[in-house]
Amino acid sequence: MNYYSLNKQAPNTSFKNAVIKGLAPDKGLYFPEHIEPLPKAFFNSIDSLSYSEIAFEAIKQFVSPDIPNHILKTIVDETLSFDFPIVKLNNHISTLELFHGPTMAFKDVGARFMARCLGYFNKNNNNKVTVLVATSGDTGGAVANGFLGVEGVNVVILYPSGKVSDIQEKQLTTLGQNITALEVNGTFDDCQAMVKTAFLDKSLTDNMQLTSANSINVARWLPQLFYFMFAYKQLHDKHKDIVFSVPSGNFGNICAGMMAQQLGLPIRHFIASNNANNVVTRYLTTQIYTPKPSVQTISNAMDVGAPSNFIRIQEIYKNRFDVLKNNLFSYSFSDDDTKEAMLEIYKKFNYVADPHGAVGYLGCQAYLKENTNAHCVFLETAHPTKFLDVVETVIKEKQALPEQIQQVIGKEKQAVSIATYDDLKRFLHT
């Protein structure tokens, strides 16, 4: 598969090159030249396929011929070494738990897949690749964990000081080896802006091979389409009209879901569930797209004022507002709404949701008020104990810490403080 730049000012390129470059030279995001729907037989026989088999079939066209099938099979197997269970709350709402990976965030899948692709491409290369990534919380940990020990790859993670949870901070600052954390005196948008500037800075890119592991990178973004297929496998014999409510920040996850739909997966609608950062909710009502500085919320991984993947969604629907609007619903919720929802989910269903999942749950409820007969699946994008303070304050129950979290909690934070782009540059040069 070749990829083109959504800015249309750069040559088309291979999967390999798109992964290594991250962003096209014209600053555009890469997008596959063509999407070949999977045969009907694939969906009809999905019950007999394992998660690895489903994932392999779904991703194959996007990576071939750069990664041979037998290697891709191994990459997929290693990436998906944990479960993706559906938990049914009632006849209209389920949650898809995406937090069973090593850092207990859905981003583990994309990070693990990308790390293995880059490791394969860089195997016989003497030039180190530096992965530069901005995180609003979970990306950092997932990328750090996914890339830990991958030869020929250094990882530099920028995170906003004081704006990620304690556990998230531990996950991204305690690994050492080829992973460095930079604590930025600023917001997530500041971190993201610095990373973007670095990619365009010739004085850096002439001297080092920089790439991104944010969802702008196709190898981070595309594997997220697996989740929607895994949910379908678990639900399709009981429920026909499946709708996904995706707690959204940079819109990579939901956009990957739309790719699954392009591959033929029967999905009735998508719901982009937002916190107070509601650029897309407003766009769908006003048809005016106005990115804004992000505001801080308790669902901090979605505190994004300018969602980087929205342009890919526009591309999928060829910029036709009506077509998009027929497929995508969007609602926005306050922190108070979110806390109330966490309590309601706990009281009604005896289920502990994290703040992001709770926003997804609220999206389901809002949708089901307008649309009947659907089965709405909200994605539980992180384990509730990653947001321990909020969760315990709201539901007033002590939470037991899972193994993955216990492991990092006693480790010592190691981070380099920076404030400006010049600080970042100085760090990368040394």
Ligand X SMILES: *Cc1c(COP(=O)(O)O)cnc(C)c1O
Q: Which residues bind ligand X (CB under 6 A)?
A: 105, 107, 137-138, 215, 247-253, 301-302, 356, 381-382
Residues with Cβ within 8 Å of 170's Cβ and at least 6 positions away in sequence, in order, are 408, 409, 411, 413
Please, what is the minimum distance in Å from the beta carbon of residue 397 to ligand X?
20
- Min dist. Cβ of residue 361 to ligand X (A): 13
- Minimum distance, C-beta of residue 54 to ligand X, in the bound complex (Å): 20
Q: 253 vs 294, which CB is nearer to ligand X?
A: 253
Q: Toward ligand X, which CB reaches closer, 32 or 252? A: 252
Distance CA 106, CA 139 (A): 9
CA distance 227 to 195: 28
Those residues with Cβ within 8 angstroms of residue 341's Cβ, 6 or more apart along the chain or in another chain: 333, 353, 358, 359, 361, 362, 365
Residue 35 burial by Cβ neighbours in a 10 Å radius (0-12, 13-18, 19+): middle
Identify which of residues 174 and 308 has a Cβ nearer to ligand X in the complex: 308
Minimum CB separation of residue 220 from ligand X in Å reads 9
Which C-beta is closer to ligand X: that of 10 or that of 313? Answer: 313
Q: How far is the CB of 4 from ligand X (least distance, A)?
A: 22
| CB nearer to ligand X: pick between 223 and 249 | 249
Kindly state the smallest distance separating residue 283's Cβ from ligand X, in Å: 15
Considering beta carbons, is residue 137 or 363 the nearer one to ligand X? 137
**Minimum distance of ligand X from residue 115's CB (angstroms):** 17
Give the closest residue to 204 by CA, choosing from 2, 428, 363.
Answer: 428
Amino acid at 216: I
CA dist 112 and 219 (Å) reads: 9
Q: Which is nearer to ligand X, 105 or 242 (CB)?
A: 105
| Nearest to 155, CA basis, from 118, 136, 180, 187 | 180
Q: Is the torsion defined by CA of 321, 244, 292, 310 positive or negative?
A: negative
Q: What's the start-to-end Cα distance of the chain, in Å?
A: 37
For residues 144 and 171, is the Cβ–Cβ distance under 8 A?
Answer: yes
* The dihedral formed by the CA atoms of 82, 88, 89 and 91, expressed in degrees to the nearest 10: 160
Residues 6+ apart with CB under 8 A from 81: none
Q: 316-342 burial string, b = 16+ CB within 10 Å, else e?
A: bbeeeeeebeebbbbbbbebebbbebb
- Nearer Cβ to ligand X, position 134 or 428? 134
**Smallest distance from ligand X to CB 87, Å:** 17
Q: Between 66 and 108, whose beta carbon lies closer to ligand X? A: 108
CA atoms of 391 and 381, how far apart (whole Å): 15
Q: Tell me, what amino acid is at 152?
A: G
Q: How far is the CB of 108 from ligand X (least distance, A)?
A: 10
